[in-house]
Amino acid sequence: MLISTQSGYQRDLSAFLVGDLLGVGWGDIAVSALTGAGVIGLLVALRKELLLVSFDRTFAQALGYPVFAIELLLLLLLTATIVVSLQAVGIILVLAMLVTPAATARLLVDRFTPMMVLGAALGAAYGIVGWYVSYHAGWSPGGSIVLIATLAFLVAFVFSPSHGLLAHRAVPHPQHGAERPAIDQPPGHRHAEEEGAVVASVRQRHPPGR
């Protein structure tokens, strides 16, 4: 019902799946701006409570926080974000836009507040760059936005200085520097010290000529 009241409402199923960014009017932009401001305001006001409930639900209950009400509020904020995004990117692609910027920000920063700010900034940047790509390439705007977001996530996943794939491979694992027993060494690997000790022990027990 809420979706049908939007100015760019279409009964075509594909419009709900992939969205229609070019069909977004000023009324839709105003609703999105008001909804975004409300969501951001609640996130800032309840930052401590939301963070505590998200990471340690049991501890939040022990402190007397209304855990169920906070979780319900978080779900309502998520629902409102999804509804206002349907017109732009569609029901399928909106899931990628909710997850991909946050996952990319997690690869780049470790603290929670910078992660939220960076995730929002990345989402806005993906929207602008994806729209220009769709305009010049003739692609679907929603698909172009999600494609840009996915490519940025893959770049961060590989080249992130702290959590990237290359960074993890560059750091030696603690077990790699540990000494391994001779039986686990590859064929042809010689242990001069161990062999010398074994030979000396055998000679002491069985001197030559006996």
- DSSP, residue by residue, 129-177: HHHHHHHHHT--HHHHHHHHHHHHHHHHHHH-TTTSHHHHHHSPPGGGG
- 118-173 pLDDT, tens digit per residue, is 999 999 899 899 888 888 888 877 778 888 999 999 999 999 888 888 877 776 65
Task: Please answer whether residues 153 and 147 qualify as being in contact, where contact means their C-beta atoms are separated by less than 8 angstroms.
Answer: no
Q: Note the pTM of the prediction, 2 decimals.
A: 0.67
If one compares 29 and 120, the residue with the highest pLDDT of the two is 120
pLDDT at 137: 86
* Mean pLDDT taken over the chain: 78
Question: Is the distance from CB of 50 to CB of 70 less than 8 angstroms?
Answer: yes
Structure tokens at 64: 């007397």
